[in-house]
Amino acid sequence: MGYTLIKHPLIDHKMTILRKKETSSMEFRQVANEIATLMGYEVTRDLETEEIEIETPICKTTGRVISGKKVGIVPILRAGLGMVEGLLTIIPAARVGHIGMYRDPETHKPVTYYSKLPKDVSSRLMLVVDPMLATGGSLIEAIDELKRNGAKNIKSINLLAAPEGVKAVQEAHPDVEIYLAALDERLNDDKYIVPGLGDAGDRLFGTK
What does the alpha-carbon distance between residue 162 and residue 96 come to, in Å, rounded to a whole number?
Answer: 26
- Stretch 59-88 residues interacting with ligand URA (CB under 6 A): 79
d(CA 86, CA 31) in angstroms, rounded, equals 9
5 torsion bin: left (phi>0), alpha (psi -120 to 50), beta (else)? beta
Q: Which of 132, 139, 146, 176 binds ligand URA (CB under 6 A)?
A: 132
Is 107 an active-site residue?
A: yes
Q: Is 128 in the site for ligand URA (CB under 6 A)?
A: no
How many Å apart are CA 134 and CA 125, to the nearest integer? 23
Among 134, 142, 146, 154, binds ligand URA (CB under 6 A): 134
- Minimum CB separation of residue 92 from ligand URA in Å reads 27
Q: Which of 96, 137, 196, 204 binds ligand URA (CB under 6 A)?
A: 196
Reduced to 3 states, what is the DSSP secondary structure of residue 155? Answer: strand
Bridge partner list, 186 = 194
* Among 45, 46, 107, 190, the one annotated catalytic: 107
What does R_g of the chain's alpha carbons equal in angstroms?
A: 18
Does the annotation place 200 within a ligand binding site? yes
Helix (H, G, I), strand (E, B) or coil at 42: helix
- Which positions touch ligand URA (CB under 6 A)? 79, 132, 134, 192-193, 196, 199-201
- Residue ranges at the known binding site for 5-phospho-alpha-D-ribose 1-diphosphate: 78, 103, 130-138, 199
- Residue ranges at the known binding site: 78, 103, 130-138, 193, 198-200
